[in-house]
Amino acid sequence: MEKEQKGATAEKIDRFEAKRDALMAMGGEKLVQKQHDSGKLTARERLDVLFDKGTFQEVQLFVEHRSTLFGLGEKKIPADGVITGFGQVNGRTVFAAAQDFTSAGGSLGEMHARKIWKVMDMALAARKPFVAINDSGGARIQEGVPSLEGYGGIFYRNTLGSGYIPQITAIMGPTAGGAVYSPALTDWIFMVKKSSSMYITGPDVIKAVIGEEVSQEDLGGAVAHASKSGVCHFATEGDADCLAKIRTLLSFLPDSCQSPAPIASSTDSADRECPELDTIVPDKANRAYDMKQVIRSVADGGEIFEPHELWARNMLVAFIRIMGRTVGVIANNPRFNAGALDVQASDKASRFIRFCDAFNIPLLTFSDVPGYMPGTHQEWSGIISHGAKLLHAYSEATVPKITVVTRKAYGGAYIAMCSKQLGADYVMAWPTAEIAVMGAEGACNIVYRREISEAADPAARRAELVASYEEQFNNPYFASSMGIIEEVIRPRDTRRRVCTLLDALRDKAEARPAKKHNNIPL
C-alpha cells in the first residue's frame, strides 16, 4: 500500500517536471536557434543576464491562453509567450516580464497580459522597480479585442507606477503600433542596435499612405530613436550590453519614491580639488568647451552615467555619485549649439528633473547658456510651451537644488537653469560667470544704437560702451552683491563645495500648497 502511494507521488512529481521542462524549452530548439541566429538571446537567457546568478524566481509559468478562435484552440503557446517573475539585481529585488519571441512571436494575448499585470501589481505592492523586456509581434491577432484590453491594463499600471517605482523598458526586438506606449510610459527606454525597432506605423504602411520609403532601422531603430526622436535613452550594442547597462542604471536608483537611493562605497575624497577646472573655460567667450569634463571632474571617481547621450546634445543630463550618493546633473553643453536652449533640450532636461525629484535624487545644475535658440523652426515647434516645462520642472522640484554658473547665464535662459527664483537652494558662480540680460555686444547695439551711430567714431564708441557693460554685468559680482548668487568660488573648489552642500541639505524638507497635481505645460 505504502509503496503504491509513493509511486503515485513520484509520478506526480515526474509529471510536474515534464510539464515544467517542456515550458522551459520555450518555442523549441529550432525557434531558439532562429532567435540566436538573429543575434538575440532568448527571454530566459536575458533574465539570467539581468538578474544576479540563480536568483530569478518565475511566476505563473503554467498559465495558458484560453482562446479557441482562428486555430488557437489547438495551439500550445509555452508560458503564453512571456516569462514573468522577480529576482535580485546587485542584491536588490526587481520585478520583470520578458516576452518570448520563440512562443507565438511573443504576441500579447489576454493571459499573456494578465501575467504581466500580476508582476506589475507585485512590484507596485512591494514598492520595487519593474523591468519590461519587449520582443513581440504585438497584439495577438487571433485573440482580438482581449489583446487590446491587455495593453490597456499595462498602460494603466505603468501610470500608477509613474513616480512611485522606477520602470524600465528594454526593447530587444520588434515593438509596433500601440505596443510602443507601455515603453513610452516607463521612465527609461533601452534599445539594441540593429535588432530592435519601435514605430507606430511600419515602413509598408508609410509607403502605402504617404509614399515615403524608409527602412525599418532608419525609421525606428535604436540609433534613430536615440538621436532623432529622443524616445530611446540608451542605444546599446547587443543584448548583453543592454542588460548590463540596465543593471548599472538600477544601481543609481532607489526601490521606490519611499526609499533612499543606494549608497555606493566611495574612495573619492570630499575635499578633492579639481585644478583642471581652473583652466577649462576658454579666454574667448565664444569658444566652446566640453561640459562633460566638468561633470567628470566633480563626480566620484570621474564616473558618469548619461541617458540621451546622442539627443539634444546642447543639454547634458547624467547620473553621478557624490560621496557615494546618487545625484542628477543637468548642464548646458557649449560644445553643441553654444549650449542654447531649444525644444528638445527643454524636454530632455524637464523629464530628467521630474524623474529625479520624484525619486528624491538631488539636482546639480551647471549653467552656461547664451539664451534660447532663435528661429521660426523653434517658435513653430512650440519653444514657448516646451521652455515653460523647464521652468515648471525646476520650480516644482523640492529635492536639494544646487546651481553652478560656469560662464554665460543670460536672460530668460539664466532663470530657466535652476536660478535662485526657481528655488535653487544655493547658487555658486565661477569668476568667469557672466550673469546678465544678454551679451554685451547685443545689449549695446540695442540700448546705445543711436549714440553709436551718431558718434564721430562709431566703432570706438561701441567698444567703449561694450567694455563698460561688461564691467557692470559680465561678471558674477553684480549678481552676488544683490544676493542673487550665494558665492563666487574658484572652479577647483567646485567638488568640495558640492560635497559640503549636499551633506548640509540632505534632510531638506519643503512644504507646498495642497492640490491634486500640477498641470505642467505638456
> Residue 249 corresponds to which cell in the numbers above?
542604471
Residue 178 or 282 having the CB closest to ligand HXC: 178
- Nearest Cα residue to 180 out of 248, 132, 145, 215: 132
Active site (annotated) includes residue 439: no
Residue tagged active-site, from 177, 324, 423, 442: 177
Which candidate in 28, 152, 178, 375 is catalytic? 178
Query: Is 196 or 475 the residue whose CB approaches ligand HXC more closely?
Result: 196
Residue 39 known to be catalytic: no
Instruction: Specify the length of the chain in residues.
Output: 522
Which DSSP state fits 373?
P
Distance between CA atoms of 522 and 518, rounded to whole angstroms?
11
Nearest to 521 by CA among 386, 428, 424: 386
Q: Considering the complex, what minimum distance in angstroms separates the CB of residue 198 from ligand HXC?
A: 12
Which position's Cβ is nearest ligand HXC?
A: 137
- Shortest distance (Å) from residue 104 CB to ligand HXC: 5
We find the least distance from the C-beta atom of residue 145 to ligand HXC, in angstroms, to be 10
Query: Minimum distance from CB of 117 to ligand HXC (Å)?
Result: 14
Q: What strands lie across the sheet with 167-171, from one edge to the other?
A: 57-59, 82-89, 92-99, 130-134, 167-171, 188-192, 234-236
Nearer to ligand HXC, 175 or 360 (CB): 175
80 HSE (CA, 13 A, CB side): 25
Q: Known catalytic residue: 85?
A: no
- Which alpha helices (H) appear in 273-312, and where do they start and end? 291-298
315-322/197-199 β-pairing = unpaired
Least distance between ligand HXC and beta carbon 94 (Å): 25
**Catalytic one among 238, 412, 423, 442?**
412
Task: For residue 150, give the nearest of 190, 181, 123 by alpha carbon.
Answer: 181
Cβ-based nearer residue to ligand HXC, 220 or 307? 220
Q: What is the SS3 assignment for 244?
A: helix
Q: Measured in whole angstroms, how far is the alpha carbon of residue 72 from the centre of its chain? A: 39
Q: Which is nearer to ligand HXC, 163 or 177 (CB)?
A: 177
In the complex, the smallest distance separating the C-beta of residue 140 from ligand HXC, rounded to whole angstroms, is 4
What SS3 class is residue 285? coil
Q: How far apart are CA 510 and CA 225, in angstroms?
A: 37
Q: How far is the CB of 48 from ligand HXC (least distance, A)?
A: 23
Residue 238 catalytic? no
Binding site for ligand HXC (CB under 6 A): 104-105, 107, 137-142, 148, 151, 174, 176-179
Angle at 182 between CA 180 and CA 185, to 5 degrees: 110
Q: Which is nearer to ligand HXC, 139 or 435 (CB)?
A: 139
In terms of C-beta density within 10 A (0-12 exposed, 13-18 middle, 19 or more buried), how is residue 387 classed? buried
Distances (CA, A) of 117 to 153, 158, 161, 499: 7, 10, 12, 42
Q: Among all residues, which ones are annotated catalytic?
A: 177-178, 412-413
